[in-house]
Structure 1
């Protein structure tokens, strides 16, 4: 595992809230599964396209304000979408967030449209 973000992942954190960036960086050092950032801040046009494609259900995504990131698990340098990998990444995110006193929400904990790659700052704390 690399335990550091690639230049591409780091660039995808541009515009993301500093508290979430800190959680991402701390989670990477704790995670038993390497990961990359696939998306951080989104434009309204990108979000609308995701809704139209059925990949999102809202035009009020936390990505629009820099309060969310999506990750992809990396196994032997290859992106993998196996659900158990994201539970392991989530454990690292939750541990890092607890240590940093940062309230986060994992999309994998949602009751509908579970989203394993998605992490966001809790909207009750971060507006």
Structure 2
């Protein structure tokens, strides 16, 4: 089955770095698990609120520059947070990134796991605003 990004997901990709958009758009065609883009570019105010609420650990998020996206698995029309789903999404994202020759990092590979988070590699993509 081939999935497609919803209008909301496409809107959440506005101001995200074009290379990461390309990876997400290809990954949705490759994934065995449907997903949506819950967040792309964030304002500093939103990031500060997320840190205060404990939903983020940093004020230097790649979301602030459009170099990161959060994806959520969708099963039977509902968002799901089951870890096995995110491994499958990550496989599709990594395969798409390889095909597009884009260096990405998955938050699920970090010591402090963040399964929905994908970002462009800091080594290849500087932390400057992309928009």
Q: Distance in 1 between matches of 2:102 and 2:2?
A: 24
5+ long unaligned stretches in structure 2: 127-131
3-state SS, counterpart of residue 25 of structure 1: helix
**What's the TM-score once normalised by structure 2's chain length?**
0.94
Structure 1 gaps of 5+ residues are none
Match of 1:17 in 2: 17
Match of 2:129?
none
1:97 and 1:41 map into 2 onto residues whose CA distance is 19
Q: Deviations over 1:3-60 (max 9, x none)?
A: 2111110000000000000000000000000000000000000000000011111000
- Describe the SS at the equivalent of 2:90: helix
- CA-to-partner distance for each residue in 1:50-106, whole Å, 9 max, x for gaps? 000111110000000000000110001111000110000000000000011000000
For residue 35 of structure 1, give the secondary structure of its aligned residue in structure 2.
strand
Moved over 2 A (4+): none
Aligned mates of 2:41, 2:2 — CA distance in 1: 24
| 1:53 equivalent in structure 2 | 53
Measured on the aligned residues, the alpha-carbon RMSD in Å equals 0.8
Pairing 1:121–2:115 present: no
Q: Does 1:6 align with 2:31?
A: no
Partner of 1:90 in structure 2?
90
**Alignment map for 1:55-94 (pairs within 5 Å):** 55-94=55-94
